[in-house]
Structure 1
Amino acid sequence: GLTGVAVAAVLGWLLAGFVARPLRRLAGATHRIDTLEQLPPLSGRGSREAEELSEAVTRMLARLEAEHGETSRALATARDFAAVCAHELRTPLTSVRTDLEVLATKTLPEQQRRAVLSDLLLAERQIENTLTDLERLAVGELTDPEVFEPFDLCEILDRATHDAQRRHPQCRVMLADCTTTTMTGLPAGLMLVVTNAVANAVQHGRADTVTVAASGSDAGVEIVIDDDGRGIPDDLRATAFDRFVKGAGSEGSGLGLALVRQQAELHSGTVELDESPLGGVRLRLRIATRPATAGR
């Protein structure tokens, strides 16, 4: 009897040690984790249960590491974005402050007073345009693919060209050709592409005519917007889609084409500028009929 109890106790002690040893190694490795920047390999080799626990903890840490990386990148982007925004808004705000100080401290002839008020209105429009486009850019950055929806491409482009025509009655804006295509994406995003392309052509290119054409298949969609304006200066062409890039004396925010590129990327596509057969600029947008992120 006593011998059996002793043997059982020894076997129990050995078995407990065999089971607990990998758990102690796993616990020790877990305690040594101080940051998610670089995770050590975790091993629970020994009993099957310990190995399963080790694998589960490793998977959990991998998910945490991925989410930590995304959060760090998002914070870095937000800091850079805020710094650039502050820089871009500082100039018109300084101009507003200077003009207000002049109006408050000096008695000006009527003509000079009107000139200062005109400068104030110009700076106000620039600030308003910048803030509006910044809001659109931020909304694009936070777009969840779950909001993508199926829509008729030609119907959206027809609405966009009619809307652009109302905004710019001095310019002829028309949908020249469109292949009937049902696609998945952001209807408002594609309308924004047309809106900004036409606004650039009219305000900066002094275009009299803008045409929109689109073709689509299961492989993808191509939207081409042509104008007969003055084109884009050579020194701006390479950086035209970057944020806050604009020509001298422009009242815009410098975000119009950046928003176009953002929509191209949201729709798993690309956008480029070229010379138009009409004499101005051709904007070519190639996007997926069903973006890679849709439906996830």
Structure 2
Amino acid sequence: MQVGWEEPRLRALEQLLALPAAELRPTLDTASQLISELLNADKVDVFLIEHSSQTLVAVGTSQTPMGHLQKSLGLDRMPLANGGRAVQVYETEAPFISGRVEEDPEELPGIKHRLGVRSALMVPLPIGDETRGVLAVSSARNDFFTDKDLRFLQAVARWVGMVAHRVELVQELTKLAVKQARRKAAEELITVLAHDMANHLLPLQARIQLIQRRATRKQEPEDLRDAMGAAASLRSLTRLINDLLDVGRLEQGLFSLRPQPMDLSGLVRELATTASTPAHPVRFTGPEEFVTVADPDRVRQLLENLVANALKHSPPGQPVDVTLEARDRPEGPWVCVTVSDQGPGIPSELMPTLFERFMRGPGSTGLGIGLYLARRIAEAHGGALEVASTSSAGTRFELSLPVVTG
């Protein structure tokens, strides 16, 4: 090997860091080519672990005859189960140097005989906080590399790891930006559609009321039943559209409260009675009266979402329990309303995003805004909404609100 390479090596390291953070494979191909030219090597590989197949994959390879031959022989993929020096370096995180690869019993026959590697340098490749692969340099000549080359390659590996990490971060940020842009566009579209749909609700409600009155006057039970069903569906549609509009108001900073003295017990009791069905009874437990200052429409909206969610996930015949109780805290009196169901519980993987907009669980048919709105309404009142418990025996949500008396 030549001596006095300090300046060319420094320039090569500077070139590595100057590589554009675009796609990973072209970037690592370029890095491999730079190292190959610097060390006068016949082949340089940047192997990264592919966890799904437990295989080291040459994501970056120098554009050299040996590099092209490696790909044609399929030696750019090295399953961990097959062993070999590259796998050993990855698993032990210990560097390796050899000037007589053809005599090494631990190396794969394809590397020694078909590829014709005679000298090799290999070092673990750190990306972020973990070893993610191997940086390997090969020559077709015996005793080609020195210990000095190995020390230099260890430094290069850290630089290559920084380059790869930067590319991955840029790719993740790009994906996130695209996702957020699509989500914002979808949210704006939904808000516009909700506004347009709201314009048709009042005429539709008026016609249903006319049909109800006509059916009542003519004593036509079937028509009256159908009209009542249509009115119930319209109320559900109205609630959904109002929720969608509120999502837009929250994002635009236009969401507001109209607090006033209200009987929270009376509101919860009425809601439980209205939501109960023979298949899904809703049971209320709490004091006869509990007066506080809050926005009754918003609190109703919050609790309707919680109860509707509980009913949706309850097995037939199983009740939904709603309880109200006062609690004393160091900062003053609070009131807690819990809504419990006996459904299958919430999968643990959904918990981190449970209260985010448009987040739906598997099999869900809703838009995924009910819990998001419920929590934001609770927070607007200075309170909180949390999942108090969830298991295979059901889920319990707990709404906590500060008691305001004046």
Partner of 1:135: 245
Task: From the superposition, tell whether residues 254 and 150 of structure 1 become closer, same or farther in structure 2 (CA, over 3 Å).
Answer: same
Structure holding more strand per residue:
2
The partner residue of 2:311 within 202, 225, 229 is: 202
The partner residue of 2:267 within 147, 156, 160 is: 156
Task: From the superposition, tell whether residues 278 and 184 of structure 1 become closer, same or farther in structure 2 (CA, over 3 Å).
Answer: farther
1:132 Cα deviation (Å)?
A: 4.3
AA aligned opposite 1:241: F
Per-residue Cα deviation, 1:248-295 (whole angstroms, up to 9, x for no partner): 23210100101110111111011111326992001011111129xxx9
Partner of 1:281: 395
User: Any stretches of 5+ residues in structure 2 without a counterpart?
Assistant: 1-180, 192-236
Partner of 2:299: 190
AA aligned opposite 1:136: D
> Do the aligned residues in 2 keep the contact of 1:179 with 1:216 (CA within 8 Å)?
no
Task: From the superposition, tell whether residues 128 and 263 of structure 1 become closer, same or farther in structure 2 (CA, over 3 Å).
Answer: closer
Is structure 2 residue 322 aligned with structure 1 residue 212? Answer: yes
AA aligned opposite 1:282: R
1:191 Cα deviation (Å)?
A: 1.7
1:179 Cα deviation (Å)?
A: 6.7
The partner residue of 1:83 within 182, 185, 189 is: 185
1:201 Cα deviation (Å)?
A: 1.8
> Do the aligned residues in 1 keep the contact of 2:344 with 2:391 (CA within 8 Å)?
no
Could you say what secondary structure the match of 1:216 adopts?
strand
Larger Rg: 2
Q: Aligned partners of 2:238, 2:259: CA distance in 1, in Å?
A: 29
1:80 Cα deviation (Å)?
A: 9.4
> Do the aligned residues in 2 keep the contact of 1:273 with 1:282 (CA within 8 Å)?
yes
Per-residue Cα deviation, 1:108-158 (whole angstroms, up to 9, x for no partner): xxxxxxxxxxxxxxxxxxx9986442123345653434x211101101111
AA aligned opposite 1:174: R
Q: Aligned partners of 1:87, 1:278: CA distance in 2, in Å?
A: 37
Q: What pairs with 1:55-204 in structure 2 (closer than 5 Å)?
A: 82-86=184-188, 131-138=241-248, 142-145=254-257, 147-165=258-276, 168-178=277-287, 180-204=289-313
Partner of 1:65: none
Structure holding more helix per residue:
1
AA aligned opposite 1:85: E
AA aligned opposite 1:214: L
Identity of aligned residues (%): 28
Q: What is the alpha-carbon root mean square deviation over aligned residues?
A: 3.4
1:247 Cα deviation (Å)?
A: 1.3
Partner of 1:96: none
Per-residue Cα deviation, 1:228-256 (whole angstroms, up to 9, x for no partner): 11111111112111111111232101001
1:171 Cα deviation (Å)?
A: 0.6
Task: From the superposition, tell whether residues 179 and 282 of structure 1 become closer, same or farther in structure 2 (CA, over 3 Å).
Answer: farther
> Do the aligned residues in 2 keep the contact of 1:133 with 1:253 (CA within 8 Å)?
no
Partner of 1:45: none
Task: From the superposition, tell whether residues 287 and 80 of structure 1 become closer, same or farther in structure 2 (CA, over 3 Å).
Answer: farther
> Do the aligned residues in 2 keep the contact of 1:129 with 1:253 (CA within 8 Å)?
no
Is structure 2 residue 372 aligned with structure 1 residue 258? Answer: yes
AA aligned opposite 2:259: F
AA aligned opposite 1:250: S
> Do the aligned residues in 2 keep the contact of 1:228 with 1:276 (CA within 8 Å)?
no
Could you say what secondary structure the match of 2:339 adopts?
strand
Structure with larger RCO (C-alpha < 8 A, sep 6+): 1
> Do the aligned residues in 2 keep the contact of 1:129 with 1:252 (CA within 8 Å)?
no
Q: Aligned partners of 2:190, 2:265: CA distance in 1, in Å?
A: 37
Q: Aligned partners of 1:290, 1:81: CA distance in 2, in Å?
A: 38
AA aligned opposite 1:142: L
Per-residue Cα deviation, 1:2-28 (whole angstroms, up to 9, x for no partner): xxxxxxxxxxxxxxxxxxxxxxxxxxx
TM-score of the pair, normalised by structure 1 = 0.51
1:84 Cα deviation (Å)?
A: 4.4
Q: Aligned partners of 1:224, 1:88: CA distance in 2, in Å?
A: 31
Q: Aligned partners of 1:178, 1:80: CA distance in 2, in Å?
A: 47
Task: From the superposition, tell whether residues 224 and 257 of structure 1 become closer, same or farther in structure 2 (CA, over 3 Å).
Answer: same
Partner of 2:90: none
The partner residue of 1:230 within 312, 336, 344 is: 344
Is structure 2 residue 351 aligned with structure 1 residue 244? Answer: no
> Do the aligned residues in 1 keep the contact of 2:335 with 2:403 (CA within 8 Å)?
yes
Please identify, of 242-251 and 269-278, the stretch whose mean Cα deviation from structure 2 is larger: 269-278
AA aligned opposite 1:246: R
